[in-house]
Amino acid sequence: MTNVRFEALKVTFDRRPVEVTEPTAKRSDLYGLNVFGPSVFRNYMPKEAQVAVNDAIEQGKKIDRKVADQIASAMKAWAISKGATHYTHWFQPLTGTTAEKHDSFFEPAGDGTALEKFDGGQLVQQEPDASSFPSGGIRNTFEARGYTAWDPTSPAFVMGTTLCIPTIFVSYTGEALDNKVPLLRALQSVDHAATEVARFFDKNVNKVISTLGWEQEYFLVDKALAMTRPDLMMAGRVLLGHQAAKGQQLEDHYFGSIPERALAYMRELEIECLKLGIPVKTRHNEVAPNQFEVAPLFEEANLAVDHNSLLMDLMEKVASRHNFKVVLHEKPFAGINGSGKHNNWSLATDTGVNLLGPGKTPKSNLQFLTFFINTIKAVHDHADLLRAAIASANNDHRLGANEAPPAIISVFIGEYLTSVLDELENVSDGNLSPEEKTELKLNVVGKIPEILLDNTDRNRTSPFAFTGNKFEFRAVGSSANCAKAMTVLNLIMAEQLRKFKDQVDDLVDNKNMKRDDAIFNVLRELIKSSKKIRFEGDGYSDDWVKEAKKRGLNNFKTTPEALKVLKAKDTLALYERHGVLNSVELEARYEIELEEYIKKVQIEGRILGDIARNHVIPTAVKYQNKLIENVKGLKEIFGNEYAKLAEEQIKLIKEISEHMGSIISNVDKMTAERRKANTIDHADKRADAYCNNVKPYFDEIRYSCDKLEIMVDDEMWPLTKYRELLFTR
């Protein structure tokens, strides 16, 4: 019998870094090479079409059919020049990955010849076979069809031999079926609300965009080794495995140089990213062994979301060429740091001002403080929605796991800004005296340094931290689609800014207050009423859990708990007020999230049961038999003396039996609970059952399996071990 683990290790030890041929062009020349962007428009499109696309991007204007034909024809010509033979509507269904259905440009002309065809109709709309994407019942209730529609704000690109057209995905009756539709709606709402508030300070502002710079963490595992782990291959994480003697204690990986094989992978990934217009900039090791990060420059949020989804696709494609499996799971290895996807977020005006960056003058700083304080208030009022936006079966293993942000949402702002808010909290009621204003201008608002970056203490334990000129939402999971977090963040910001504007206007119109004084007055109240969300201490500590409880902050540790807020009346009202989701869409999403959770836990339960019974138990039996042989042999040779000589072996034989017994009985109990859960009608109750009755067995089963791993002869153990998965480079 061969041991699959040893076979895989042999393959792995022989691996060399894959050669990456550095393109002859400079990196900067590669940028956007395969993107149908403005620089290409000029060569391929008539002026009229260029203007139409521009207006669609800038002002959301509709593109008429004739112009769409022109654009399609330009896109086709350009794509064919890049070697494309097919086109696809590329979209982001609620499954968390991307979807595409390829169609050929090729079309028989009917007279024995053929031509390459692609017109405005094909560009604008496509009907993928939608029945296989989750819809939370929307399509069943209404119409069994969904279609994709071109999103001109995100440029088309050629990947391999396919022209990919970013699209939204909606049901035949117009309900959102993807991650992108609500995002676009939320971005529009925050644009309106933020523009109005920004105009308090500068009348030239006509548009505010949301910016996003994500940081993608991931693990690389050698493919041959990964293949020996059914759990890693199918669930994306290992469900058992004893800790290696060495983990990440020494932090030598973070500061060490990037291993050669990983570096080759990163180089190729960067080249591919640049060609597709993803402005990747940094790459480095992360805290855990074989954990890395890639991050681009920030971009407009919709584009950044598309680019992150595209990156996740690319990562897998490039990884397989380098004989790696890229692991995007939030917590692939219990006991080792998990992976997140920090979402750096801000708002920027069309006049080029970052609204969360301090400026040079008291006025620009008052603008900064306005957006800064409103963000804190938005998070305070809607912390549960933010928590729900990052909830997933995967992320449950990471949040609150001692090295990841806790499941408690709080905001970190640093010592300096805390003192500024403390001062502002004391401004007088009503119109401010001239002295008070001078004091504020000179010594508080006016003094905020333009570069706060160096002043912001780096609190790595906060789920939502201000980092000098942006907020960093750190609790987002590494495998998540950022659209979810970005939709909620921009939605709650839109809501808060609307309220803020109304309150300021009210004071000015009805209380005879000067605009600046009104702003100070409202900000003062916002600071007071959002205080409990601010936390500057160690977010990983047990003290914080207690303190947060005292403050009345929620600590939803599991997805089913975290998602319940989606059922609240207020939630629906908020989504409806901003036209982001209607009741059918919101309900559908709640259902889809629950179903996804249930399926994940169900699949993990099956895999774990299978590995425990079919891999671990048989191996343990084999080893136990070896021990029994040994004891028998000792008895044969030494007669009655054997008992003393075989004492340890006999103990081990018994221990192995105990663990096997425990595994078998726990797998049986888990299976029974699963069966029971499956009979529950309502998804929310079923999710609760999976969470509270099925999942707890995972730890029990794992415990005994991991004990067996360190008892059984290494040569017999079929599952690649932690040290091999994490330290093979």
CB of 301 to ligand ADP, least distance (A): 9
Name the closest residue to ligand ADP (Cβ): 213
Tokens representing 276? Answer: 């597709």
Report the C-alpha gap between 432 and 411 in whole angstroms.
29
Residue 534 touches Mg ion, criterion: CB under 5 A: no
**C-alpha pair distances (Å), 689 with each of 134, 675, 676, 685:** 22, 11, 9, 6
Q: Are 123 and 165 in contact (CB under 8 A)?
A: yes
CB of 488 to ligand ADP, least distance (A): 16
Contact of residue 212 among Mg ion, ligand ADP, none (CB under 5-8 Å per partner type): ligand ADP
Which one of Mg ion, ligand ADP, none is in contact with 191 (Cβ closer than 5 to 8 A by kind)?
none
Residue 630 CB contacts under 8 Å (≥ 6 apart), including other chains: 646, 649
* Closest CB to Mg ion: residue number: 342
Residues in contact with ligand ADP, shown as a per-residue x/- string from 655 to 694 under the rule CB under 6 A: ----------------------------------------
DSSP state of 456: S
- Residue 656 is encoded by which pair of tokens? 């192995």
Cα–Cα distance measured from residue 596 to residue 391, given in angstroms and rounded to the nearest whole number: 11
Of 8, 4, 68, 81, the closest CA to residue 40 belongs to: 81
Beta bridge partners of 26: none
Q: In terms of CB distance, is 459 or 671 closer to ligand ADP? A: 459
Q: Which does 693 bind (CB under 5 to 8 A by kind): Mg ion, ligand ADP, none?
A: none
Residue whose CB is less far from Mg ion, 181 or 489: 489
Which of 345, 412, 520, 697 touches ligand ADP by CB under 6 A? 345
Residues 346-365, one symbol each (x = binds ligand ADP by CB under 6 A, - = not), give x-------x-----------
Kindly write out the interface string for residues 291-330 of this chain, putting x where it contacts Mg ion by CB under 5 A and - elsewhere: ----------------------------------------
- Minimum distance from residue 215 beta carbon to Mg ion (Å): 5
The C-alpha atoms of residue 629 and residue 635 are separated, in whole angstroms, by 10
Q: Report the candidate in 73, 76, 49, 77 with the shortest Cα–Cα distance to residue 63.
A: 49
Q: Which is nearer to ligand ADP, 329 or 470 (CB)?
A: 470
Count of residues engaged in binding ligand ADP, rule: CB under 6 A: 14
Nearer residue to ligand ADP within complex by CB, 126 or 467 = 467
Contact in structure between 452 and 468 (CB atoms under 8 Å): yes
| 154 belongs to the binding site for ligand ADP (CB under 6 A) | no
**Which helix (H) or strand (E) covers residue 142, if one does?**
none
- Shortest approach of ligand ADP to residue 467 CB, angstroms? 5
* 212 lies in the binding site for ligand ADP (CB under 6 A): yes
For residue 295, list its beta bridge partners.
282
Q: Which of 211, 290, 309, 456 binds ligand ADP (CB under 6 A)?
A: 211
Applying CB under 6 A, which part among 17-25, 146-154, 210-218, 493-501 lies near ligand ADP? 210-218
Nearest of 286, 466, 474 to residue 398 by alpha carbon: 474
At its nearest, how many Å lie between Mg ion and the CB of residue 542? 25
* DSSP string covering 497-549: HHHHHHHHHHHHHHS---HHHHHHHHHHHHHHHTGGGB--S-TTSHHHHHHHH
Q: Which of 233, 297, 442, 573 binds ligand ADP (CB under 6 A)?
A: 297
Of 8, 414, 356, 390, the closest CA to residue 209 belongs to 356
Q: For residues 85 and 487, what is the distance between their CA atoms, to the nearest angstrom? A: 35
CB atoms within 10 A of CB 425: 14
CB 142 → ligand ADP: shortest distance, Å? 37
554: three-class secondary structure by DSSP: coil
The site map against ligand ADP for 21-40 (x = CB under 6 A) is --------------------
User: Looking at this protein, which amino acid is placed at residue 455?
Assistant: N
The least CB distance from residue 500 to ligand ADP, in Å, is 21
CB 31, min distance to ligand ADP, A = 15
DSSP code at position 35: B
Q: Is residue 213 involved in binding ligand ADP (CB under 6 A)?
A: yes
Query: How far is C-alpha 382 from the geometric centre of its chain's CA atoms?
Result: 19
Rounded to 10 degrees, what is the CA torsion of 450, 453, 456, 459?
160
Phi, psi of 166, deg, nearest 5:
-60, 130
466 binds, among Mg ion, ligand ADP, none (CB under 5 to 8 A by kind): none
49-81 b/e (C-beta count within 10 Å ≥ 16 → b) = bbebbeebbeeeeebeeebbbbbbbbbbebbee
Q: Of 197, 236, 499, which is closest to residue 356 (Cα–Cα)?
A: 197
| Residue with Cβ nearer ligand ADP (298 or 500) | 298
Q: How far is the CB of 478 from Mg ion (least distance, A)?
A: 13
325-354 residues near Mg ion, rule: CB under 5 A: 342
Binding of residue 298 to ligand ADP (CB under 6 A): yes
Whole-number minimum distance, CB 60 to ligand ADP, in Å?
Answer: 22
The token duo for 671 is: 């299976």
Q: Return the residue of 178, 191, 215, 673 that touches ligand ADP, per CB under 6 A.
A: 215
Q: Which does 659 bind (CB under 5 to 8 A by kind): ligand ADP, Mg ion, none?
A: none
Question: Count of alpha carbons within 13 Å of 372, Cβ hemisphere only?
Answer: 30
Label the pairing between strands 291-296 and 411-412. unpaired
Which is closer to ligand ADP, CB of 398 or CB of 470?
470
Site mask, ligand ADP, residues 432-471, x = CB under 6 A?
-----------------------------------x-xx-
Cβ nearer to ligand ADP, comparing 370 with 431: 370
H or E element, residue 659:
helix 647-678
Which of these ranges, 8-16, 338-346, 487-495, 525-533, lies near ligand ADP under the rule CB under 6 A?
338-346
397 binds Mg ion (CB under 5 A): no
CB of 469 to ligand ADP, least distance (A): 6
Q: Least distance in Å: CB of 453 to ligand ADP? A: 7
Question: Can you give the binding site for Mg ion, defined by CB under 5 A?
Answer: 342
Question: Can you give the binding site for ligand ADP, defined by CB under 6 A?
Answer: 211-213, 215, 295, 297-298, 344-346, 354, 467, 469-470
